[in-house]
């Protein structure tokens, strides 16, 4: 941030820390053990790309990481791919695919490409997936800017209910033991805001749907260990808010573990951790796209629908 300016006034995140986190995560051993969530979501993104019956000459993967979407795509669907990530270590360790690929180190909020460049933009659980509306809008505007007219954006992001069991347990424990609480997981965008964000960025023909992936653990400490070593740090998604709290007291952790098991525990003694995923599809406007009929041009009223059953019955007789 500029000298004399409050960091939180410009961004809710320490962006330099975020880059360090993602670079550190990319160097961890046995990445397959901690990447299966991103690979699963990347495959579901690729399925949505395959649903569009066209070939994309040039595609962009924003926040590509090690190439979780690219490994599921084919050269018959995407002829050339550019992968962008803020962490150079992630790009160095990217999975090789059959698609000709160029890798670029860049911030997702400031894409270094000209307007109307790409036929397709994809993004799976990128950094902008866990940020407040103002910054999410900036990222969406960047993506819309680099898309060609009639180009499509297909993305996935963590939903607002992600890790709600963990967050609630930690908050209740901190309130009880310390008289207040601090965020320990980065905030997430609400689904109610997502459609508005994409529309404000200029996208049309929007589709937004949600899904949940639930993983069971022996207890809270195993959840925290797995998040530290796998989902959160290996995805570079650990909390980097300016107001983050660096440590949790032992008494608070023990209280949180008891609350977690009491409130959310399964009958077999395990506890669940829920990852909510939002999937979104948006198109950049082109005059060839289908348009809604003018207001008032309908020739059939919704009130006539009540008559259909009677017409069908008379037809059978």
Asked if residues 65 and 23 have their Cβ atoms less than 8 Å apart, the reply is no
φ, ψ at 287 (rounded to 5°): -65, -20
Structure tokens, 246: 């660096």
Q: Judge whether 115 and 145 are in contact, CB under 8 Å.
A: yes
Is residue 311 a part of any domain in this protein?
no
Q: Is 3 a member of any domain?
A: no
Q: Is the pLDDT of residue 311 over 90?
A: no
Residue 203, both tokens: 């996208």
pLDDT at 184 over 80: no
Total number of domains constituting the chain: 1
Residues of the chain with pLDDT > 70, as a percent, come to: 76
Average the pLDDT over each of 24-28, 58-62, 144-148, 235-239 and give the range with the smallest value. 235-239
Confidence at residue 179, expressed as pLDDT on a 0 to 100 scale: 75
Burial of 234 (0-12, 13-18, 19+ CB in 10 A): buried
Whether residue 192 lies inside any domain: the answer is: yes
What is the per-residue pLDDT for 3?
37
| CATH code of the domain covering residue 221 | 3.40.50.150
**pLDDT band at residue 127 using 50, 70 and 90 as cut-offs:** low
Return d(Cα 44, Cα 263) in angstroms, integer.
31
For residue 7, pLDDT over 50 is answered with no
On whether residue 298 sits in a domain, the answer given is no
Measured CA to CA, the distance from residue 298 to residue 147 in angstroms comes to: 34
For residue 151, is pLDDT > 90? yes
Residues 193-205: tens digit of each pLDDT: 788 888 999 999 9
Greatest distance between any 2 Cα atoms in the chain:
83
b/e per residue 18-42 (b: at least 16 CB within 10 A): bbebbbebbebeebeebbebbbebb
Query: What is the reported pLDDT for 185?
Result: 61
Q: Is 317 part of a structural domain of the chain?
A: no
Give the domain range for residue 163.
15-287
pLDDT in tens, 22-47: 666 666 666 556 677 888 899 999 99
- 310 in a domain, yes or no? no
5 located within any domain: no
Instruction: Measure the CA angle with vertex 76, ends 88 and 34; round to 5°.
Output: 40
Residue 139 has pLDDT above 50, yes or no: yes
∠ CA 227-231-232 to the nearest 5 degrees?
Answer: 65
**Residue 210 pLDDT class (50, 70, 90 cuts):** very high
Does 158 map to a domain? yes
């Amino acid at each position: 941030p500029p000298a004399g300016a409050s960091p939180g006034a410009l961004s809710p995140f320490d962006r330099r820390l975020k880059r360090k986190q993602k670079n550190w995560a990319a160097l961890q051993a046995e990445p397959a053990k901690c990447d299966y969530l991103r690979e699963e979501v990347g495959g579901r993104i690729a399925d949505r790309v395959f649903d569009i019956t066209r070939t994309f000459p040039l595609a962009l993967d924003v926040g590509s990481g090690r190439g979780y979407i690219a490994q599921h795509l084919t050269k018959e669907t995407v002829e050339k791919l550019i992968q962008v990530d803020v962490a150079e270590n992630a790009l160095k360790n990217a999975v090789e695919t059959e698609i000709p690929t160029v890798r670029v180190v860049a911030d997702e909020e400031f894409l270094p490409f000209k307007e109307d460049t790409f036929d397709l933009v994809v993004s799976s659980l990128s950094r902008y997936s866990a940020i407040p509306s103002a910054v999410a809008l900036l990222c969406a505007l960047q993506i819309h800017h680099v898309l060609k007219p009639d180009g499509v954006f297909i993305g996935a992001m963590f939903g607002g209910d992600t890790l709600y069991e963990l967050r609630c347990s930690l908050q209740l424990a901190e309130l009880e033991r310390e008289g207040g609480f601090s965020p320990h997981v980065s905030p997430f965008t609400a689904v109610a805001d997502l459609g508005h964000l994409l529309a404000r960025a200029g996208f049309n023909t929007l589709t937004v749907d949600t899904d949940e992936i639930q993983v069971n653990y022996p207890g809270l400490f195993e959840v925290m260990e797995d998040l530290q070593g796998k989902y959160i740090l290996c995805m570079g998604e650990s909390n980097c808010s300016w107001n983050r709290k660096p440590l949790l007291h032992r008494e608070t952790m023990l209280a949180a573990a008891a609350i977690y098991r009491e409130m959310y525990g399964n009958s077999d003694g395990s506890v669940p951790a829920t990852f909510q995923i939002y999937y979104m599809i948006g198109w950049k406007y082109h005059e060839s796209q289908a348009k809604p009929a003018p207001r008032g041009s309908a020739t059939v009223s919704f009130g006539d629908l009540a008559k259909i059953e009677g017409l069908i019955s008379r037809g059978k007789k």
